Amino acid sequence: MDVAYEENRHCRDVRKVGFATTEGDSESSNQGCFLQPPQLVITDVEHQDGNSSALSSRRASIISALRRPSQAIALSVAQSVMNQRRHLLEMFNSSTQNLRKDQENRMSRITDNNDFTIILSALYAKLLVVLGIAFPITQVISDKVHLFYYQGFYLFLYLGSIAFITYEYVSFVKERAIKEVIKNMKDDFAKELDPNEDLVERGNYSSKPAKKYGSFFLRLGAIAFGIGSMVYSGLEFGRYFELKTAENCDYSTLQAITPATRLILTLLQVQFIFLNHKDVELNRHKIIGRFGLMHLIATNLCEWLCVLVEETKHEIVHLSVHKAENLSNVSLPVGYYCSGHLMSSLVNNASPFLFPCTIEYSLICAVILFEMWKHIRVEDKFDKNRANKKNKHRSEELAHFASSSHHFTIDCSNSHKGLFAGIMVIVLTIISLVMFFVLTAQKDEYSNRKHYAELEVNVVELLLYIATTIAAVLAMCQLRKLKYEKKFSQMGIGLDNTLLTVAQTGMFIYSTFSIIGWYFTMENETPVGLVADIFAFIQTSLQTMFVLDAWWRRCKNISQARTKPGRELIIFLMIANMAMWSVNTLEKNRAEFRPTHLKFFGAWAWTVITHISMPLAIFYRFHSTICLFEIWKTAYKIKSNFKNPLFPVM
């Protein structure tokens, strides 16, 4: 009886410490407390009334429990299990930290290499641009340099660019062929498993949406400028065969190879940038992509500088042939005066209209390629997988909406007044062009006709500048009522606005030097030209401010979408800029348009000023038309659900 009581007392004491038997062994526990190994349970100790008595009782129970060998073994086993769990937990935490640290180190190395290639590619492009400036200028300012000695450098630029574009296309075709083979194998395997399965949906791979650089009309205009550049290269290629048969002319085979290579590059670059850039994934080969794009950027900038120097040289030769003043101290190589009969005449007559196309095309390509170069970035695999999973579950409505992005309609409401006012501006501009060409047709008999032609152009320009300045101010005031909607992710001013601000520099240069020339050469003449250039400076500044602000404006309610404040003024500005573009292209693109400035600055200086600034001014008017059309199209739309659009998709 005393033995049973002592065993029961030990069982109760052990349970207080934390040892317990299972519920299924409740019956057997009455017979013997330690027939099975005890289990350690992390629980609170039972509450007792007396704290001191309970504590002393627990101490005595622990001491008595440890005196038994079976209790000591059970306690040591429990402690070893807890230590093992603690050790495994520490190992897991340590492995997680090591994995995270390895991932951070790997990303750090990748980022380091990425930044290093960015710096190297930028320095490479800078070196090429500096060489592209030095070579043609050295040939012009020194008569000891062999003619066309630097054509090999441009041949290297063109061949390198062609090689990079070809490499990207070959990589794309190779990857597409591999994907097509894998897709066919999957379809065949799925058909063997289930012959009744419809494989139409399985064959439709969801293509990644193309990254668009610039608006549609910018790309369309760049293609048009590229065609003009190819015509210019073709005429230079044909002139070689005529110079080859001429006597006492210094010619080289590179005169034929270089324009032909440039023509091929222009065609491939148009295809690469504006038509199929969605098919070329530059992130697959980041190093090659960065250096290749920088090589293309440097090629376009060097082409811009080369054409600029060549056309400046040709116009100075043209002025020297017509006995222009201030050329008595200028010595040009004999090869500059070599010319044939047909092709050389075509090049000389068409170059004032074609070489701005080359400059504008090179500018657009350089800016777009720079945007593509900036978008080559390092992506973490985990982030990429998360993004793929997120984009995988798109709704069918959104996919259908995106697939119909090539179809758009244009709402022309609230635009008829501005349209008719713009038509009047076009008529006035056409009359001005006809009068200008008629007055400048006779050069020998009527010496005052060129003066009247210049005065007529200045009067028409002054009227256009005054009208467009007023329209820009009124449109800016009306569009300030719309909400300014620019997302935080849309950093910077955008590609189109960047091109606009770069081209505005040409307008500033031409207007500033024209104002200075008018101020020092104007004696008893009417100050129409001075006032016109002052208004050109003001109008350009106000219109650029208006475009940069209105680019992010959107309607904030249905009332604004119905009334469309400022839309008539926008379409008037758009047509007026088209008119001013034609004036700059057909009338003001030569240095001899302003003979007073030619005498004041000198033939060299004024020709260089004109050929640097006027192509940018021409492009400014062209690109302003594009930006104003985008504002006219998108500023008066309200976002809505795809099922029930409030307004047509544009």
Query: Is the alpha carbon torsion for 567, 473, 423, 536 positive or negative?
Result: negative
| Token pair belonging to 252 | 């080289």
| For residue 419, pLDDT beyond 80 | yes
Confidence of residue 545 (pLDDT cuts 50, 70, 90): very high
CA max distance for the chain: 149
* Residues forming beta bridges with residue 484, ordered by sequence position: 553
> Cβ-count burial of 493 within 10 angstroms (0-12 exposed, 13-18 middle, 19+ buried)?
middle
Among residues 503, 638, 513, the alpha carbon closest in space to that of 577 is found at 503
| Token pair belonging to 329 | 């101290």
Query: How far is CA 535 from each of CA 293, 465, 529, 573, 597, rounded to the nearest angstrom?
Result: 40, 6, 10, 15, 19
Confidence of residue 36 (pLDDT cuts 50, 70, 90): very low
Query: So what's the pLDDT on residue 571?
Result: 92
| Token pair belonging to 505 | 């520099």
Query: So what's the pLDDT on residue 160?
Result: 94
Query: So what's the pLDDT on residue 271?
Result: 84
* Residues forming beta bridges with residue 554, ordered by sequence position: 483
Helix (H), strand (E) at residue 40? strand 39-40
Mean pLDDT value of segment 18-34: 45
Helix (H), strand (E) at residue 211? none
| For residue 418, pLDDT beyond 90 | no
| Token pair belonging to 478 | 């009306």
Mean pLDDT value of segment 537-557: 91
* Residues forming beta bridges with residue 20, ordered by sequence position: 39
Which range, 189-193, 348-352, 456-460, 461-465, has the best average confidence (pLDDT)? 461-465
| 3-class state of residue 483 by DSSP | strand
Residue 412's Cβ-side half-sphere holds a number of Cα atoms within 13 Å equal to 6
Mean pLDDT value of segment 396-421: 62
Q: Who has greater pLDDT, 488 or 549?
A: 549
| Token pair belonging to 462 | 């002054």
- How confident is the prediction for the chain on average, in pLDDT? 75
| Token pair belonging to 530 | 């001075």
Among residues 551, 383, 531, the alpha carbon closest in space to that of 475 is found at 551
Mean pLDDT lowest for which of 127-131, 267-271, 345-349, 627-631? Answer: 345-349
Among residues 507, 508, 526, 479, the alpha carbon closest in space to that of 580 is found at 507
* Residues forming beta bridges with residue 40, ordered by sequence position: 19
| For residue 5, pLDDT beyond 90 | no
> Residue 74's CB: how many other CB atoms inside 10 A?
19
Query: So what's the pLDDT on residue 315?
Result: 80
Confidence of residue 467 (pLDDT cuts 50, 70, 90): very high
CA 348 to CA 330: how far, in whole Å?
A: 21
Query: So what's the pLDDT on residue 465?
Result: 95
CA 203 to CA 214: how far, in whole Å?
A: 32
| 3-class state of residue 19 by DSSP | strand
Phi and psi torsions of 642, nearest 5°: -65, -30
Amino acid making up residue 332: L
In tens, the pLDDT along 590-641 reads: 888 888 888 899 888 898 899 889 989 999 999 999 999 989 888 887 765 4
Query: So what's the pLDDT on residue 382?
Result: 43
| 3-class state of residue 563 by DSSP | helix
| Token pair belonging to 372 | 């593509």
Mean pLDDT value of segment 272-289: 70
Distance in Å from the first CA to the final CA of the chain: 99
Amino acid making up residue 38: P
Query: So what's the pLDDT on residue 569?
Result: 92
| For residue 15, pLDDT beyond 70 | no
> Residue 371's CB: how many other CB atoms inside 10 A?
15
| 3-class state of residue 527 by DSSP | coil
Mean pLDDT lowest for which of 73-77, 241-245, 298-302, 443-447? Answer: 443-447
| For residue 13, pLDDT beyond 60 | no
Query: So what's the pLDDT on residue 491?
Result: 65
CA 501 to CA 499: how far, in whole Å?
A: 6
Confidence of residue 504 (pLDDT cuts 50, 70, 90): very high
| For residue 468, pLDDT beyond 90 | yes
467-477 as b/e: b if 16+ CB within 10 A: bbbebbbebbe
CA 149 to CA 129: how far, in whole Å?
A: 17
Helix (H), strand (E) at residue 417? helix 416-439
Among residues 72, 70, 42, 46, the alpha carbon closest in space to that of 58 is found at 46
Query: Which pTM does this prediction carry?
Result: 0.73
Helix (H), strand (E) at residue 554? strand 553-554
Percent of the chain scored above 90 by pLDDT?
A: 23
| 3-class state of residue 20 by DSSP | strand
* Residues forming beta bridges with residue 19, ordered by sequence position: 40
Helix (H), strand (E) at residue 647? none
Query: So what's the pLDDT on residue 173?
Result: 82
In tens, the pLDDT along 199-211 reads: 444 444 444 555 6
CA 539 to CA 57: how far, in whole Å?
A: 99
Query: So what's the pLDDT on residue 32?
Result: 45
Query: So what's the pLDDT on residue 212?
Result: 66
Amino acid making up residue 383: D
Query: So what's the pLDDT on residue 61?
Result: 57
Query: So what's the pLDDT on residue 441?
Result: 74
Residue 476's Cβ-side half-sphere holds a number of Cα atoms within 13 Å equal to 16
Query: So what's the pLDDT on residue 490?
Result: 60
Q: Who has greater pLDDT, 645 or 185?
A: 185
Mean pLDDT value of segment 275-295: 75
| For residue 38, pLDDT beyond 50 | no
| 3-class state of residue 137 by DSSP | helix
Percent of the chain scored above 70 by pLDDT?
A: 68
In tens, the pLDDT along 136-174 reads: 888 888 777 776 678 889 999 999 999 999 998 888 888
The number of angstroms, rounded, from the C-alpha of 594 to the middle of its chain's C-alpha atoms is 38
Query: How far is CA 35 from each of CA 9, 17, 21, 38, 406, rounded to the nearest angstrom?
Result: 16, 18, 10, 9, 82
